[in-house]
Amino acid sequence: MWAAPARTPRRAKGDRAIEMCGKLVPIGRTPNKKGNRMPHPLHELSDFDTPSITNVVATYPASPLCLGLYNPWTENWYTDQSIRCMYPELGRMAGYAVTCVYGLPDPNFSRLSFMDVIDALDASPKPTILVLQQKFPPEIAGKVGLAGGNMVSAMKAIGCVGLISNGPSRDLDEIRPMRFQYMLSGVTAGHGAMAVQAVNVPVSVAGMDVAPGEIIHMDENGAVKFPADKLEAVVRNARELQKEEAARMSALQQATSAAEIRAIFGGHSYVAREPRE
C-alpha cells in the first residue's frame, strides 16, 4: 500500500508546538489566567514510563502515593503480553482514548465506516490514541492486517498518535517515519473485507477495558488507562514516586551487604512484614 512520505511537523519558534490540521498547536503548555505558559499535565506524562504510571494508578494500593483507582487483579486496567509495542524507539506516549470495533461485514448493518472513526478522532480532545477491538472469527483473526499507511496517515492528520489493537496490522515500513505508535498482536501483509461495527463504545483489548475519553499511557512495557479527571493527581503522585524511587535505587546501588539492602527496603513490599502479636 502506498503512502505519501511523512512530512516533518512544523514547530513554533520558541515554543513546544506541532502542526495539526494546518495549525500550530502548543504541546505540553496551556495558558494560565495571566496568559503565561504552564506545563500541561497530559504532556507531563511523558516524564514517566508506563510501569510508574501503573504504580500510582493501582499497583500498590497500600502505598500513600497509589490512588487505588482499581482492584489491581480483578479489574482490567492495563494490557497483557498478547500485544507488543512495534516502535519502542518512539518512547512514551499519552492521549485521550477513542474506541472502535471492527469485524466482518454484516449484511444487516452497514451504517458505519472508517470516516465515522475519523469524525470521532476529530471531535476528541487531542492528542488521541485509537483503541481498536478486532472481532473476527478465530480462523482469520491472526491474518487481518487491519490498519496500514492510508488509515494511519488520515488518523495522524487529525492528532492521533497511536493505535492499540488486539489483532495485527501492516505497513510497518511506511508508518515508521510517521512517528505513529502501533501496539499490536503482530503484523501480517494482507486482509479481506472488513467493516466498522461500533464507534466510541467500551472495548476490551489485550486485557484492558477502555471507555472513550479515558487517558491512555503507553510505551514498550505496554499500556495503562485511567479516568481523565484523575490526570493531575496521577502526574503529581508519579512525580513524587519518581523522586522516592530515584533515592532508593541510588542507595541500593551503593549498598554492600544484605543487611543494608534490607534496611533500605524497610516498610516496602519487598520485605516480609513482621508478624502481629
CA separation for the pair 203, 197 (Å, rounded): 12
Mean pLDDT is highest, among 20-29, 214-223, 234-243, for 214-223
Task: Give every CB contact of residue 190 below 8 A, 6+ residues apart in sequence.
Answer: 143, 145, 170
Fold of 17-232: Glucose Oxidase; domain 1 (3.50.30)
The confidence score (pLDDT) of residue 261 equals 81
Which cell numbers hold the place of 222?
505496554
The confidence score (pLDDT) of residue 259 equals 87
- Look at 67 and 33; give whichever has higher pLDDT: 67
Instruction: Say yes or no to pLDDT of 23 above 50.
Output: no
To which residue does cell 479516568 refer? 227
pLDDT tens-place string over residues 141-165: 999 999 999 999 999 999 999 999 9
Residue-range domain boundaries for the chain: 17-232
| Mean pLDDT calculated for residue range 207-227 | 98
The confidence score (pLDDT) of residue 54 equals 97
The confidence score (pLDDT) of residue 4 equals 40
Burial of 128 (0-12, 13-18, 19+ CB in 10 A): buried
Instruction: Say yes or no to pLDDT of 100 above 90.
Output: yes
Instruction: Say yes or no to pLDDT of 217 above 80.
Output: yes
Instruction: Say yes or no to pLDDT of 76 above 90.
Output: yes
The confidence score (pLDDT) of residue 151 equals 97
Among residues 55, 57, 69, 72, the alpha carbon closest in space to that of 207 is found at 72
CA separation for the pair 150, 98 (Å, rounded): 18
CA trace torsion 62, 49, 97, 1 (10° rounding): -150
Q: How many helices (H) and strands (E) does the chain have?
A: 8, 14
How much of the chain exceeds pLDDT 70, in percent?
A: 82
User: Tell me, what amino acid is at 83?
Assistant: I
The confidence score (pLDDT) of residue 26 equals 41
Distance from CA of residue 97 to its chain's centroid?
8
Confidence band of 258 (pLDDT split at 50, 70, 90): confident
| Mean pLDDT calculated for residue range 28-56 | 71
Asked if omega into 127 is within 30° of 0 (cis), the reply is yes
Asked if omega into 26 is within 30° of 0 (cis), the reply is no
What CA–CA distances, in Å, run from 16 to 11, 19, 27? 7, 11, 5
